[in-house]
Amino acid sequence: MNDFTLNAEVRSDLGKGASRRLRRLASLVPAVVYGGDKAPESISMLAKEVAKLLENEAAYSHIIELNVGGTKQNVIIKALQRHPAKGHVMHADFVRVVAGQKLTAIVPVHFVGEEAPIKKGGEVSHVTSEIEVTCLPKDLPEFIEVDLSKAEIGDIIHMSDLKAPKGVEFVALAHGDDKAVANVHAPRVAPEEDAAEEGAAE
């Protein structure tokens, strides 16, 4: 069962002015659906429905059932344009999902086991919060887990250190770019030095 659904209507009034009118007068979000063997389709969705869907982080990397005027199709979110100050979605791009055809999607990263390096006196920096993956629709993961429980101070965790779920490939790695995902570093000033400086100041 697909828990992620959105209702939409076909949009015939196109252009920037029309998009502004949609947002202002009807609280609608303009969007475009691409891909598959069909032409791009301009649609509009209720802003509150879009906001509700995106409350669930998994929606960003999940197949969504898009109901356009009674016709259902499976899509994933390709890009969202947000208001720079208010943060609400102003425009969305969706890509049609075709069974048996690989897709590319942005998947969030979940960091686990951070307590271990922190207990050793390290500080953890997250270099990225999402990873681009390619896979068949049925293999699309909701997130990629990064386990830091065995990380030591000075360690840099790269994509090649991660275990990709079955059937999933990291796009950057496929292009020979072994990006850093997280690193564990020593605190900027050691606690003993802090204490020594305070003592000297007194």
Q: What span, in angstroms and rounded, lies between the C-alpha atoms of 193 and 180? A: 30
Same domain, yes or no, for 76 and 149? no
Higher pLDDT, 128 or 194: 128
Task: Give the sign of the dihedral formed by CA 13, CA 89, CA 105, CA 158.
Answer: positive
Amino acid at 104: T
Query: Which of these ranges, 111-115, 167-171, 198-202, has the smallest mean pLDDT?
Result: 198-202
How does the average pLDDT of the chain come out, rounded?
A: 87
Q: Domain limits at 69?
A: 5-97
This prediction has a pTM of 0.75
List Cα–Cα distances, 62 to 109, 140, 151, in angstroms.
14, 7, 30
The last residue of a domain, from among 52, 73, 97: 97
Same domain, yes or no, for 86 and 122? no
**Cβ distance 89 to 28 under 8 Å?**
no
Higher pLDDT, 27 or 2: 27
